[in-house]
Amino acid sequence: MHEMSLMSEIIKIVSEDARLHGFSKVDSIVVIVGDLSNVLPDALELAFFHFRKQGLGMLDENTEFEIIREVAKAKCQTCLFEFTPDYRMALCPKCMLPNCLLVSGETFRVESYEGSDEL
Amino acid sequence: MKIRLQEDVLKDQNLAAAFNRETFKKNHTLVINLMSSPGAGKTTLLEETIKALRNEFHIAVIEGDLATDLDAERLRSLGVKTVQINTVGGCHLDARMIAKTLPDFELDTIDILFIENIGNLVCPSGYDLGQDYKVVVLSVPEGNDKIPKYPVMFRRTDVTVINKIDLLPYVSFDLEEAQINLEEINPQAQLKALSAKTGEGMEEWINWIKDAYRQCTKP
Ligand SMILES: Nc1nc2c(ncn2[C@@H]2O[C@H](COP(=O)(O)OP(=O)(O)OP(=O)(O)O)[C@@H](O)[C@H]2O)c(=O)[nH]1
Ligand SMILES: [Mg+2]
Ligand SMILES: [Zn+2]
């Protein structure tokens, strides 16, 4: 698993943007993790605590971290039925045709962060 | 102050993948990213594939492993330019690692570049390397349940190679079931059953590569 490197990427992205905004500190980070993104939220959180302790980037001991889960959704291209798929991601449970596309669940992005510049 | 960033965590990785893709395209190089669990037979398949294609095509390989250059040595002994990437614990190759190796190749002289990814059915599936095709190798002794258990990998690959079919008489693996499982996850995917050891089924695989090469070099 590579959540350590993913978390350091997140902190890099946020800290770089915070620098551009003239912040000196990042107070919170919100990320979206899709159920099909192969990212383990618990491992990501552990990595966050590790880096927060180190004060990586613009983190300090009070920086908060929130993970929003995005559920997997597939949509049948034949009957337009939308559903949460099991492993059979292309199979429509209504018309039983393997003709579905994923419409969500693969996201892995930094949604927002809060920065401040009081020292 | 709250900033709505909405930025993909893999943005830099995906930019590197786009750069690789552009570079491969410019040089008319077909690039195939081979993935599988450890030991499914990626290197053996590569060895046999190279032997079948080397008279017609100029081939090169990027070998990904956590440690050692054992696999790279196997391929170099066939006279093929091979660059080894050791990820030292890293569970997948990413596009930035590939980009770093590109100056080691004279890409304009290379027709087909194979990338052997780290043996792992999870992490490599999330990283676009800039390849034309992703291929996953599943070997018969691993069992039918690997397709349902690792659906993300099978959903994101263009071709599933079922390897080691010479072992079908000894282990319970059902090719028809694999075909059905695959279709329910990824109806566009092609399935090629073969044995890299006996050569059974290799012809169809080789022909697929030749077709892919023609597609990729079409003006
Ligand atoms: N019976 C049989 N054995 C095979 C076949 N293909 C590969 N093997 C054997 O499977 C073992 C692993 O093969 P490799 O080619 O090294 O597998 P790999 O996927 O490259 O392994 P890693 O790089 O370590 O992930 C070797 O002992 C091969 O000889 C096959 O078609 N039939
Ligand atoms: Mg190998
Ligand atoms: Zn339907």
Are A117 and A25 contacting, i.e. CB atoms less than 8 angstroms apart? yes
DSSP character string of B168-179: TTTS---HHHHH
Q: How many of the other CB atoms lie within 10 Å of CB of A11?
A: 25
Mean pLDDT of B66-75: 94
Q: Is residue B1 part of a domain?
A: no
Distance (angstroms) between ligand 1 centre and the Cα of B40 equals 5
Higher pLDDT, B219 or B126: B126
Q: Is residue B6 part of a domain?
A: no
**How far apart are alpha carbons B165 and B30 in whole angstroms?**
27
CA distance B8 to chain A (A): 4
Nearest CA to ligand 1 atom 29: B44
**How far apart are alpha carbons B71 and B4 in whole angstroms?**
46
Q: How far is CA B123 from CA B32, B102, B127, in A?
A: 17, 22, 8
Domain span at residue B163? 11-217
Give the strand pairing for B133-139 and B159-163.
Answer: parallel
**How far apart are alpha carbons B74 and B198 in whole angstroms?**
18
Tell me the CATH number at B131: 3.40.50.300
CA distance B175 to chain A (A): 17
Question: According to DSSP H, which parts of chain A are helical?
Answer: 3-20, 41-54
Residues of chain A with pLDDT under 50: none
Identify the helix (H) or strand (E) that includes residue B180. helix B175-185
Residues with CB under 5 A from ligand 2 (ion): B 42-43, 71
Q: Is residue B4 part of a domain?
A: no
Q: Does A4 touch chain B (CB under 8 A)?
A: no
Band of the pLDDT at B64, cuts 50, 70, 90?
A: very high
pTM of the model: 0.95
Are B182 and B154 contacting, i.e. CB atoms less than 8 angstroms apart? yes
CATH 3.30.2320.50 given to domain A3-71+106-116:
yes
Name the residue among A2, A10, A99 with its Cβ closest to that of B91: A2
Q: Is residue B207 part of a domain?
A: yes
Q: pLDDT tens across B89-115, in order?
A: 889 999 999 999 999 999 999 999 999
Question: Are A114 and B1 an interchain contact pair (Cβ–Cβ within 8 Å)?
Answer: yes
Q: pLDDT tens across B126-150, in order?
A: 999 999 999 999 999 999 999 999 9
Mean pLDDT of B71-80: 96
Band of the pLDDT at B217, cuts 50, 70, 90?
A: confident
Share of chain B above pLDDT 90, in %: 97
**How far apart are alpha carbons B58 and B108 in whole angstroms?**
10
Total domains in the fold of chain B: 1
Task: Give CA B9 to chain center in angstroms.
Answer: 24
Q: Is residue B5 part of a domain?
A: no
